[in-house]
């Protein structure tokens, strides 16, 4: 932590107003705040997020089938992603002999809290007191998208956690002369784990801006550049053994050059193949919604480095450097995220800690505001907007809950033109958890919170206002999680029931899938066993038992239906459709090739 001020860092106790809180107490507050948001009904519902399924299937195949060196997807080596997000939950699953979602998602919740702790440490490193770190960690812990990603067994929270921890270690080596070599090694090792979590691209959205900041503020310091070099060596030492082991083990399977596969993935990442998930050039503005309910403070935080300050004490040189660091990493990192053709919320997750640090700067500035200084209009508008946000959210909950209770529409997704009542009908499952009175009570609480925030902000009781804001955010996220995961209809996978019916129908027989027709992850996950991928030609040549049916799951149109027909003819079998799985847009069909019909005359002759 930061010792540069030569005096113990202090923070007013949020309950008593008396000074001095230890690092241990601050970390305990952060954990007590964050863990309920991440652990509440963590394993309830079905796995339906596509990127989580991309990890859940390899996790199961790792500890069940022993695919540890290179995780597999459907039994085939998956070269596209590194293994750490598979190794950790798979090891935990093997330890507890369970693939429960509670077990497999638990590391993500822990890493979410570690990210908040690392954010606290960065804020504390760049400030003379601990307000900045604590405010920032609390804000990060309750951002809507960060809460969601801390509850999923996907790659992104792993990469974000280790990137933030590595960033802290490297920054400590650059900023503090004491024990800078161990800190550089620590930071580099954590960054190596980030690379083992999702590859080298995502950590660079934070590290490239850090390099630019070092060029601005530390370019003449030899220690800064040596720290980067040491961290680079430590990072390579962590992730390179796996790369070389995989390249040696899977040399022949990939045309003699496994490195080419990774290079191809990188070039595709920045290529423009045409259709993309998000084509907007203003993708980076989405973070204003993703950090809800801290949106207003982030907007203010983006302006703080440019504005004069009326705080007492005024920010020192380290704090000014820190504010520019948070701004550069957030803004430049988001701009860099416009390069890849595929853009999703979770791709920006490693920028969230720095958005939280800017939010912390805003609250720190208000806490330090001089009593004799008149609050200017932009500050008053910002404070009013924070109060109005909760008042408006509370009123919306009451209105929408009443409309949902009055709606007679079924809570189904609709692909056509939306009406208000169709959208409201989707909230009907939530009424089964908190009930209409529960939602109305939550709305009243949020309205009251907005009023108290308004009152205390304009009376300059900013620590009290922050506590109410944070607790209201906590209650909001907790209630939404409870309703979403417990509400019947929200977390029911469209693949679970039909896939299990299909597997019960085929019994112990094998279900084959065809090369080139990618099997849906939901089907692969809920089948609970590998569905072998085969080329049509290999199935035509295969000798099947004449007493067992052959099952093939694929599309029933185009070349795949033709391939199934050719397989049936080569095996001298008839073909019939016995089951279909529909995801609302596409359909996969289960074909059955029954045993060949043996005539009675043939049997007697035999």
d(CA 60, CA 72): 9
Predicted pLDDT at 472:
95
- If phi over 0 gives left and psi between -120 and 50 gives alpha, with beta otherwise, what is residue 369? beta
Predicted pLDDT at 541:
86
Which two structure tokens, joined as six digits, stand for 327? Answer: 């701004």
Predicted pLDDT at 515:
85
CA dihedral 113, 116, 120, 125 (to 10 degrees): 110
Q: Helix (H, G, I), strand (E, B), or coil: what is residue 550?
A: strand
User: What residues does each domain of the chain span?
Assistant: 23-367, 377-486, 496-605
| Contacting residues for 275 by C-beta, under 8 A, at least 6 apart | none
CA-derived radius of gyration, the chain: 28
Q: Helix (H, G, I), strand (E, B), or coil: what is residue 588?
A: strand
Kindly report each contact of residues 432-436 with a partner whose C-beta sits within 8 Å and lies 24 or more positions away, as own/partner. Answer: 432/486, 432/487, 432/488, 433/482, 433/483, 433/486, 433/487, 434/479, 434/482, 434/483, 436/401, 436/402, 436/405
Predicted pLDDT at 519:
81
Please identify every stretch of the chain with a pLDDT value under 70, giving residue numbers as ranges.
Answer: 1-20, 251-282, 341-342, 408-426, 488-489, 584-585, 597-606
Return mean pLDDT, the chain: 85
Cβ 356 vs Cβ 327: under 8 Å: no
pTM for this structure?
0.89
d(CA 237, CA 519): 36
């Amino acid at each position: 932590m930061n010792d540069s001020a030569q005096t113990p860092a202090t923070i007013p106790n949020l309950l008593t107003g008396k000074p001095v809180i230890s690092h241990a107490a601050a970390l305990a507050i952060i954990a007590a705040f964050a863990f309920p948001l991440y652990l509440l009904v963590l394993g309830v519902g079905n796995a339906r997020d596509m990127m989580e399924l991309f990890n859940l299937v390899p996790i199961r195949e790792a500890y069940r089938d022993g695919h540890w060196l290179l995780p597999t997807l459907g039994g085939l080596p998956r070269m596209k992603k590194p293994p750490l997000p598979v190794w950790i939950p798979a090891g935990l699953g093997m330890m507890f002999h369970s693939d429960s979602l509670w077990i497999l998602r638990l590391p993500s919740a822990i890493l979410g809290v570690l990210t908040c702790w690392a954010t606290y440490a960065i804020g504390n490193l760049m400030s003379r007191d601990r307000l900045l770190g604590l405010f920032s960690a609390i804000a990060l812990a309750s951002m809507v998208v960060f809460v969601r990603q801390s509850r999923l067994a996907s790659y992104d929270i792993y990469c974000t956690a280790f990137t933030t921890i590595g960033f802290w270690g490297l920054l400590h080596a650059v900023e503090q002369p004491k024990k800078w070599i161990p800190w550089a090694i620590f930071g580099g090792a954590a960054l190596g784990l980030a690379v083992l979590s999702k590859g080298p691209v995502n950590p660079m959205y934070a590290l490239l801006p850090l390099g630019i900041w070092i060029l601005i503020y530390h370019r003449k310091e030899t220690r800064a550049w040596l720290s980067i070099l040491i961290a680079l060596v430590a990072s390579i030492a962590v992730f390179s053994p796996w790369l070389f082991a995989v390249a040696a083990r899977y040399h022949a399977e990939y045309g003699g050059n496994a490195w080419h596969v990774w290079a191809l993935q990188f070039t595709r990442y920045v290529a423009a193949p045409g259709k993309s998930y998000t084509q907007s050039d203003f993708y980076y503005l989405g973070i204003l919604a993703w950090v809800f309910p801290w949106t207003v403070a982030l907007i203010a935080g983006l302006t703080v480095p440019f504005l004069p300050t009326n705080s007492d004490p005024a920010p020192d040189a380290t704090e000014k450097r820190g504010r520019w660091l948070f701004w550069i990493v957030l803004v430049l990192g988001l701009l860099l995220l416009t390069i890849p053709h595929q853009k999703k919320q979770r791709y920006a997750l490693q920028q969230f800690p720095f958005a939280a640090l800017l939010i912390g700067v805003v609250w720190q500035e208000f806490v330090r505001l001089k009593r004799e200084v008149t609050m200017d209009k932009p500050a008053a508008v910002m404070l009013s907007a924070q109060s109005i946000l909760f008042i408006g959210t509370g009123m919306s909950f009451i209105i929408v809950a009443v409309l949902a209770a009055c709606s007679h529409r079924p809570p189904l997704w609709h692909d056509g033109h939306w009406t208000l009542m169709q959208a409201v009908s989707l909230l009907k499952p939530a009424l089964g958890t908190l009930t209409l009175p529960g939602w109305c009570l939550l709305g009243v609480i949020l309205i009251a919170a907005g009023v108290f925030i308004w009152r205390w902000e304009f009376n300059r009781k900013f620590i009290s206002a922050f506590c109410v804001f944070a607790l209201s955010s906590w209650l909001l996220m907790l209630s939404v999680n409870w309703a979403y995961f417990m509400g019947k209809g929200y977390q029911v996978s469209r693949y679970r029931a039909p896939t299990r019916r299909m597997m019960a129908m085929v019994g112990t027989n094998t279900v084959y899938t065809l090369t080139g027709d990618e099997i849906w992850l939901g089907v692969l996950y809920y089948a609970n066993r590998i569905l072998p991928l085969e080329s049509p030609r290999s199935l035509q040549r295969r000798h099947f038992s004449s007493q067992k049916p052959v099952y093939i799951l694929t599309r029933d149109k185009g070349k795949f239906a033709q391939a199934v027909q050719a397989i049936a003819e080569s095996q001298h079998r008839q073909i019939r459709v016995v089951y279909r799985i529909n995801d609302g847009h596409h359909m996969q069909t289960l074909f059955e090739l029954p045993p060949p019909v043996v005539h009675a005359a043939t049997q007697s002759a035999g």
